[in-house]
Amino acid sequence: MGPLDGLTVVTLEHAVAGPFATRQLADLGARVIKVERPGVGDFARKYDDRVDGLASYFVWANRSKESLTLNVKHPQADEVLTRLLAEADVLVQNLAPGAAERLGLTYDALSEANPGLIVCNISGYGPDGPDCGRKAYDLLVQAEAGFLSVTGTPEEACKSGISIADIAAGMYAYSNILAALIRRGQTGKGGTIDISMLEALAEWMSYPLYYAYDGAPQPGRAGAMHATIFPYGPFPAGDGAVVMMGLQNEREWKTFCEKVMRNPELLTDPRFDSNARRAENKEALTALIIAAFAGLTGTEVIARLDDAGIANARMNDMKGLWDHPQLKARDRWREVGSPSGLIPALLPPGGFDGYTPRMDPVPDLGEHNDAVLERLGYGADEIAQMKAGGVL
């Protein structure tokens, strides 16, 4: 039995933040009914066609869901949503600002009929304040949250290679919904959760935020290097391989000088006798490290680092991640169905004894129309009329 078996989640979602939150609820056994626009669906379905004709974002964030197409602006859609939400445990929405209120999809509007309903709203900036009506996309929130000011090279800011603001918001939506379900179990009442992408990413920015406390200079952009700890980042070996390594304390610095650099004299060099000094003199130390690695292959550098107990990593690309031996050794890959056939999918992180995460197919647009509506009490003739009338 899954921890969320028997719970129903209705979601009016698109892109990443909402879908990622609800997919994780589905992983734990919840029934997730994804309400999509007829003929178009979640616009993330068309972001690309890299997965056997399906979009990479969509297949990642939408497995194990049921797709119901519904023209929410059609008068008859109100009745369908009313029936859906009467038996739902959670409503999730990340529509454009103000859209949920216009549709009556708020806890205040729905709680009389379903006081246990948990309504989770995901937006760019929250339901009030001067920015509440602004549209928000991931890159724009990265800019607003200061993420771009600390990411990139000294010469140029760079966005995250993943939709980090969306993912942060999705994770906080997921964890807040789980907390609200626990509270409902104690009180019997649902309520409203408001998740802001800005607030989610601002939480993740708290280290550089505190580093710049009381007007102090913020961390500089350092490329793939750590902005304040050194040496911590990528270094080239003599064969062109790039090795990522990180030192965290003075004990590791001593071992690094003796066993990796094989130059214990560095321990008495006043330029490098603390992390702060090593960071101040990183150019000189980088030159020494590159010179020490010049006669070694990447494999030999990693062997020295491993022998010294210094943390290190390979600079993998996506092919390297697909082929990662640790993921294979831990049997993390599964196959899930999709409109294009079976596709590989990673098990979600974590888990616990006695439960295997749900790994059901990625739905085609409107695939579950009949099944969802029949369960709500609609007959075949009524469903056919709704299809003909543009409701579905």
> Which residues are catalytically annotated?
226
First to last CA, the chain: 33
In order, the DSSP letters of 314-361 are E---HHHHHT-HHHHHTT-EEEE--TTS-EEEEPPS--BTTBPPP-PP
- Parallel, antiparallel, or unpaired for β 191-196 and 65-69? unpaired
Given a contact cutoff of 8 angstroms between Cβ atoms, the answer to whether 97 and 123 are in contact is: yes
Rounded distance between C-alpha atoms, residue 339 and residue 54, angstroms: 8
Rounded distance between C-alpha atoms, residue 157 and residue 223, angstroms: 9
Which residues in 341-354 are b (16+ Cβ under 10 Å) and which e?
Answer: eebebebeeeeeee
Question: SS3 of 40, please?
Answer: coil
Q: Which residue has the tokens 């010179």?
A: 291
Rounded distance between C-alpha atoms, residue 234 and residue 224, angstroms: 7
Is the peptide bond prior to 115 cis by the omega test (within 30 degrees of 0)? no
Given a contact cutoff of 8 angstroms between Cβ atoms, the answer to whether 118 and 89 are in contact is: yes
- Of 146, 122, 143, whose CA–CA distance to 17 is shortest? 122
Q: Please give the single-letter amino acid code of residue 361.
A: P
